[in-house]
Amino acid sequence: MKISSPVFEDGGTIPVKYTCDGENISIPLRFSDIPEETESLALIMDDPDAPSGVFVHWVIYNMPAGLSTLPEGISNEPYLEGGILQGVNSFGKIGYSGPCPPDGPHRYMFKLYALDTVLEADAGLSKHELLSLMEGDIIEGAGMMGIYER
């Protein structure tokens, strides 16, 4: 299973457009080699370099198993087309909030999970609630990392 983006390479710099210094819209992503038995996908984007500990920027789940792309600029609504749900980030908001590091370069981790079920959950889960709910249902995971410095 793989996750990539058409706008930056794994380990590369996240373009300003997708940060608090730009348009602050969600980054376009591509998913490939999803396991056959996958029922849904989940994604968490976080910053492990935040001064207060890991800072969550995006929680999105119950994405259809056949989904191969997320376009840029996903709406920050809790309920999206196709049964996709969004959770709450560390800003206390639903949906995507882009990189906005207070100091120096920060790493932004994108973690994609293939699940053997569609989660019985409502929108608005936190990262920790989602991870707890997915426990025992993760078939495979994939990740990529981008860097941003203000």
Question: pLDDT of 2-34, one tens digit each?
Answer: 999 999 999 999 999 999 999 999 999 999 999
> What domains are there in the chain, each with its CATH number?
2-148 (3.90.280.10)
Task: Please give the structure tokens belonging to residue 141.
Answer: 């995971």
Over the stretch 47-88, which tens digit does the pLDDT of each residue have? Answer: 999 999 999 999 999 999 999 999 999 999 999 999 999 999
Stretch 101-110: mean pLDDT = 96
d(CA 74, CA 49): 25
Q: What strand order describes the sheet that includes 69-70?
A: 2-4, 29-32, 69-70
Please report which confidence band the pLDDT of residue 142 belongs to, taking 50, 70 and 90 as the band edges.
very high
Supply the pLDDT for residue 117.
98
Average pLDDT over residues 125-140: 98
Q: What is residue 74's predicted lDDT score, i.e. its pLDDT?
A: 96
Q: Check residue 4 and give its pLDDT.
A: 98
pLDDT at 39: 98
Contacts for 43 with CB less than 8 Å, ≥ 6 apart? 3, 29, 58, 59, 60, 61, 63, 70, 110, 111, 112, 113
Pairing relation of β-strands 106-115 and 40-47?
Answer: antiparallel
